[in-house]
Amino acid sequence: MNEFIEYLGEVFERFGTIQARRMFGAHGLYRDGVIFALVADGVLYLKADSESADTFRAQGLRPFEYQKKGKAVNLSYYTAPEEIFDDPDQARDWANRAHEAAVRARAAKSRPAHRH
């Protein structure tokens, strides 16, 4: 595991113990089995959803984007604000926001589809 991933364990210390898993040339960051962040090309991205994305956009944070078959694909992750690296309380708050979005997404996936 690289040094940046290990450092993120310290950044998110007040949020709780995190685990990193390699995936598609990046790392997923998990707490309690729920992925709340990605690290790709040395950049930390936090999970967002319709309830939290405006908070990320209001800070001028960029969505995670990659190219697939010549087209840009956005995932529901945004760059983390710089202040989390210097402020443990901000790190905890932003990680909680991302974790809550991930839990909501997981709950939405597990709901049975309505049939008419």
Sheet holding 71-79, edge to edge: 19-23, 26-31, 34-40, 43-47, 71-79, 63-68
What is the residue whose two structure tokens read 């209001």? 58
Residue 115 corresponds to which amino acid?
A: R
34-65 pLDDT per residue, tens: 999 999 989 999 999 999 999 999 999 999 98
pLDDT of residue 28: 96
Domains in the chain with CATH codes:
3-108 (3.30.1460.30)
Q: With 0.85 as the threshold, say if the pTM is over it.
A: yes
